Amino acid sequence: MKILIADDSKVMRQIVLRTMRQAGFGHHDFVEAADGAEALDKVAAEAPDLVLSDWNMPNKTGIELLRALRGSGNAVPFGFVTSEGSEDMRATAATAGAMFLIAKPFTAEHFESALSEMLG
Amino acid sequence: MTISSAPDQALVLAAIEQVWGSMLFATAEAWPSDRAADFETGVQAQIELHGDWNGRLVLTCDSDVATQIAGAMLGLGPDEELPELDIHDAVGEVLNVVGGSVKGALVGTWALGLPGVSETSGAPSRDESFVVSWGDAPVYVQILPDAA
């Protein structure tokens, strides 16, 4: 599968990738985006099977990205990986169509739990 | 669990302790008040928080500490080097996670900004800060309200 990691922090993108490997998902293909606008372009260009997105990003936030995707009829599975994990945020994410929200700081177990059914 | 209507030292310290432990695999302890905590060149990260209280959280540390924090985040060995941009990125992301934890514990509707990181030429005033340890080095933490 192809997975898009969207986060304005290059360091955090590396950490997400490392954690995905630790969770046993390193054999998938990964592409990256540094903000929401780039992520939207990458979804169109790369057709990923899953999007892992930060919430707070410049040039289109993660929630704006998700709403743009759903608004255009794109049902790509989408999960947030973000520093904010309040119940309000999780509810907003779910309402917009996200499968899950993993709050930073996270562990490989968080990713395993959220993704094992989908990624195997 | 929401516990406060504005960020205070206890809340921010709790967030820092969590981040130090879970992301950086280190322990944050209070820096002794009678111990010098000066440095000359450093890195400063700021993030805005808006809600019933408006201001910013600021993290300031020595450049070597910033490098160590970035290395700890990425699991690098002692001899592995990082570009300055990545070091700043890492410190900013640490503050982003601290800010997110603080925001999540506040009552009401809050907005967290994007972290900004810059170089700095000295430690902040200890009167406006509380100081925690990173190993044997100080990290300054400030909760600065916007001017009225």
pLDDT in tens, A41-97: 999 999 999 999 999 999 999 999 999 999 999 999 999 999 988 899 999 999 999
Does this complex have an ipTM over 0.85?
yes
Angle between helices A108-119 and A10-22 in degrees, nearest 10: 70
> CB contact, 8 Å: A58 with chain B?
yes
Helix, strand, coil in percent for chain A, rounding step 5: 45, 20, 35
Residues on chain A touching B92 (C-beta within 8 angstroms): 9
pLDDT value at B1 more than 60: no
Task: Assign domain B9-145 to a CATH class.
Answer: alpha beta
- Provide the pLDDT confidence category of residue B80 given band limits of 50, 70 and 90: confident
Average pLDDT of span B92-110: 94
Task: Assign domain A2-119 to a CATH class.
Answer: alpha beta
- The answer for residues whose C-beta is within 8 angstroms of residue B40's C-beta and 6 or more apart is B121, B122
Q: What are the Cα distances from residue B52, in Å, to B4, B6, B49, B111? A: 11, 7, 10, 10
> CB contact, 8 Å: B48 with chain A?
no
Residues on chain A touching B22 (C-beta within 8 angstroms): 105, 107
Residues in chain B: 148
On the CB side of A61, CA atoms within 13 Å amount to 12
The residue extents of the domains of chain B are 9-145
The pTM for the full model equals 0.93
| Rounded Cα–Cα distance for residues A110 and A15 (Å) | 13
pLDDT, mean over chain B: 92
Could you identify the residue written with the tokens 């709050």? A103
Query: Are B93 and A12 an interchain contact pair (Cβ–Cβ within 8 Å)?
Result: yes
Q: Would you say B93 and A11 are in contact if contact means Cβ atoms under 8 Å apart?
A: yes
pLDDT in tens, B109-148: 899 999 999 999 989 999 989 999 999 999 999 999 998 7
| Rounded Cα–Cα distance for residues B77 and B90 (Å) | 16
Residues on chain A touching B89 (C-beta within 8 angstroms): 9-12
Query: Are B99 and A83 an interchain contact pair (Cβ–Cβ within 8 Å)?
Result: yes
pLDDT in tens, B62-75: 999 999 999 999 99
Query: Are B74 and A15 an interchain contact pair (Cβ–Cβ within 8 Å)?
Result: yes
pLDDT value at B78 more than 90: no
Q: Would you say B135 and B67 are in contact if contact means Cβ atoms under 8 Å apart?
A: no
Residues on chain B touching A10 (C-beta within 8 angstroms): 85-86, 89
| Rounded Cα–Cα distance for residues B69 and B51 (Å) | 29
